[in-house]
Chains A and B, each alone.
Chain A
């Protein structure tokens, strides 16, 4: 009886240790994966809440857009909608880093209409002329 009990205890102990060694690394992986995703999600929200762009001037074909937020944007990743249609043939100066409290110039190729500028993280501004 004593020998049987010992055998059962050994089987249970070995099995529990083996199961823990399988479960722990995968549970840890899941935890880290979710932690990283939560960090990314918070970062996305933080960037969106702290981003603001304003169209300050529309002169001839050229519009000036001011980064009034506290997040550095990428001017080469903006989108432009003119009279409802997504435009692909517009030029941006300067391209790349668009720091807070600075402006970029966009040659929209049109002097009138309804314009919507969309930054890389989805923040927008409209103008109508």
Chain B
């Protein structure tokens, strides 16, 4: 009876510890993924809050030469951006990267606060009103209505 009780208690003890460790392990994995998601989410949200861009063209006079329309976009936020990930949509249609030539006026490779990004877009537009949307890597955008003659 004594040996039987001890064996039972030992089995109960080992089982309890194994179950407790399993539960703790599962909880730890959840906490770890929640923490990691919170860090990534806060970084993205913080970047979005600090990002602002403004299309500074004159809507009446968009420079056009050699089949390219030129647009000027100023970084008016507090976040450094990468010109590679800038998306351009004109009249609701995405302009492929192959048709865009992006140059930072100051000559930098990173688009810093206050710098102007020059985008030459090889597209054909009929005379009239059009709409340009420029979207940054973190989803912040600026809309610009312009006229071509």
Contact = CB atoms under 8 A, between A and B. Distances in A.
Interface of A: 1, 3-5, 7-8, 11-12, 15, 19, 22-23, 26-27, 29-31, 33-34, 36-38, 40-41, 44, 48, 77, 79, 81, 83-86, 88, 114, 116, 118, 120-122, 124, 126
Contact of B13 (A4, A30, A34): A4
Contacts, number: 118
* Those 3 A-B pairs whose CB atoms lie nearest each other, nearest first: A84-B61, A30-B42, A37-B46
Given A37-B46, A118-B56, A122-B54, A85 B35 contact: no
B114 A120 contact: yes
B85 interface: no
Contacts of A118: 54, 56, 74
Contacts of B35: 22-23, 26-27
Interface of B: 9, 12-13, 15-17, 19-21, 23-24, 27-28, 31-32, 34-35, 38-39, 41-43, 45-47, 49-50, 52, 54, 56-58, 60-63, 70, 72, 74, 76-78, 105, 114, 116, 118
